[in-house]
Amino acid sequence: MNQQFDEVTLSSYIDGELDPATMREVEAFVEKDPDAKKYVLTVLKTTARLRGAMNEALHADVPRHLIDAVRSYPVEKGKSGRTLIRHPFLRVAAAVVLVLLGFGAGTILDRQGTNQLPVLSAPLPAIYSDVVDQALEFNRSGISKEWQRPQDPFAVTVTPVKTYRDKRGRYFREYRLEFSDANEHRQISGLAYRTAGGKWKTKAVFYQ
């Protein structure tokens, strides 16, 4: 388009991102070079249209649930938080038979035959770890997420139940994992904590 300045420089000139000396040089060049001038004018025109079009979005009504979420979602502090926290294991142990499980192995359930519901004994297939992880990361307590693999006759529903933090600041969530098909429904509960990498690791499962 021009010999002296590339489009990145011209674009930066439009945005006022060049140093004063270069700004003056580019300005002089744009005055003389018809292609450069056309480029600048086109960009200015495009930008004006873009702003106009995108600004329309600012006049749309904001959904009530978004406003409510911002106004009411609990604020939790990293160190000096006022969130009521009790050690999660104490709460869980009081209500259930706690089955502590090793971590890397993953450990909640297994399947007996391809068309059977999973039973609560063997390692959790990695696929359900992802399901639990997704629900715990993105769903608020009480909000379920439901999945089904194409090859499975049953659906999996994960519902975060409660959220805690321990003294180290780690987040824990209790969750409910349900399997159901046309004939049967099974439910277990789990407890997972959030790792530094943002993944949820199940620490314990229990029968209700």
Partner 1 sequence: MKNAEMRDEILRNQMVGLLPRLRRFAMTLARDPDRADDLVQAACERALTRLDQLREGTRLDSWLYRIIYTQWIDNLRRKKTRSEKLVLLSNESRSPGPGIDSGNPLDDTLDLQKALSTLPEEHRTAIMLVSVEGYSYAEAASVLEVPAGTVASRVARARNMLGRILFEEPEKVLQPIKYEGREGRK
Q: In the complex, which residues of this chain contact partner 1 (CB under 8 A)?
A: 7-8, 10-12, 15, 17, 42-43, 46-47, 49-60, 62-63, 65-67, 69-71, 73-79, 82, 127, 130-131, 134, 138-140, 143-150, 155, 198
Q: Which residue has the tokens 């969130």?
A: 83
- Contact call for residues 117 and 185 (beta carbons, < 8 A): no
75 secondary structure, DSSP code: P
Would you say 81 or 115 has its CB closer to partner 1? 81
Q: How far apart are CB 38 and partner 1 at their closest, in Å? A: 10
Q: Minimum Å distance from CB 95 to partner 1?
A: 26
Least distance in angstroms from the C-beta of 30 to partner 1: 15
Reading the block at residue 178, the tokens are: 């349900």
| C-alpha span between 32 and 4 (Å, rounded) | 12
- Strand-pairing partners, residue 160, are 175
Least distance CB 101 / partner 1 (angstroms): 23
Q: How far, in Å, CA of 207 to CA of 125, rounded? A: 19
Query: Which C-beta is closer to partner 1: that of 2 or that of 12?
Result: 12
